[in-house]
Structure 1
Amino acid sequence: MMRKIVSVLLILLVTLSGCSETNEKKEAESTTPVQDYVGQGFIFVDGDKSKDIVEKNEAEISRRAIKYMKETYKTDVKVNNVVPARSAAVVMVEAEEPIQFHTSVIVGLDMAKKALDPKEANVVRSEEGEVEKAIVSGLYAKAYSSELQNLDKFIQKMSEEHGLYGQKEEAIDKTASSGYQTAHYFISLSALEFPEVYKEYLMNQDVSNM
């Protein structure tokens, strides 16, 4: 079984070796070892132009992101980070129950007025297919929890034997949006490949196993 699950996951998983690749603006003067990285310097293109607006309205931006996830995807999430971006804030959120995954929500800004748009329904969105992908990856992890626990033990053993480092939990929380993710890998599955599973989740979030 272990060999089977590893073979399948080799197709689905991307091993992480450093900071999140979703970060579009790297620290210019130095790099940070993965074992020391906790999300510092994480910002998107032109985020410096919206930083003040985002910081001033962080509580409301977070509220809108949480509401969007609940209303659109029937899922409760917590906000781990609010990141300035071009004319928007990217809210890094995490679902813990009944499935676990990381994803992001985009809250648009009115740059001309230096404020949030009062019509939140017009400016809160997610990248096409990204939340759906995250949900399916969380369902996959739930369905194969025993196998993933074995995989985690195997990776831990290899890490100790060969001095390998994975991402810190704080870095994952602040920067990750790829779905189910651990220090060493994430699971990426399109909802288009499992439409019935995704639809079933939207109708019933009482997930015990799959």
Structure 2
Amino acid sequence: MKPPDHKIYLASKSPRRRELLRQIGVEFELLLLRDQGPRGPEVSEDVHPNEPPHEYVARVTREKAEAASKAMVWRRLPMRTVLTADTTVVIDGRILGKPADPPEAVAMMRALSGRTHQVLTSVVVSRDEQVWQTTQRSDVTFATLSDAAIQAYCATPEPYDKAGGYGIQGMAAVFIANIGGSHSGIMGLPLHETAQLLMQAGIPIL
């Protein structure tokens, strides 16, 4: 067991980010932000007008970090290092969010079919008044997909909680012909870059 002050807060609902942190031996507790309800989300993920994807994903991640730090104080939690992250899928400079329904998921898969797109994951590690941040880019090439394959995939639950409508760790892995960059970054947390930030914040890795 690591000393208690080496445990961090993970401000993310993503089960994939939890798995990835466990993979590198980081101990964490969840610090979940409100994403719905009468008062709305604590952090809006709306894109600002003319906001480039790289700036968008970095801004949202910083805002999540700021909200998590405030929540830690409001909830009177033990003060710890906080990790937040956000992942965005981009094609032709256009951000693809989480599809709301099967027609939108099908449209996304058709847009990605036979093309190379980008996956941007920004990570923030914050402690006290200090903030460390990096944004990692991976290039992902899809094979050309038949309409039958697209329809079958979009009939499963998998596309609907993931940016871009797919998850590399799921069934969509069979669509991916090539990746350049970080496999874990495409999953939602680039481990090399995340480990570097955590070590800068004084969290030991290995």
TM-score when scaled to structure 1?
A: 0.34
Structure of higher RCO (CA pairs closer than 8 Å, 6+ residues apart): 1
| Greater helix fraction, Structure 1 or Structure 2 | 1
| Greater strand fraction, Structure 1 or Structure 2 | 2
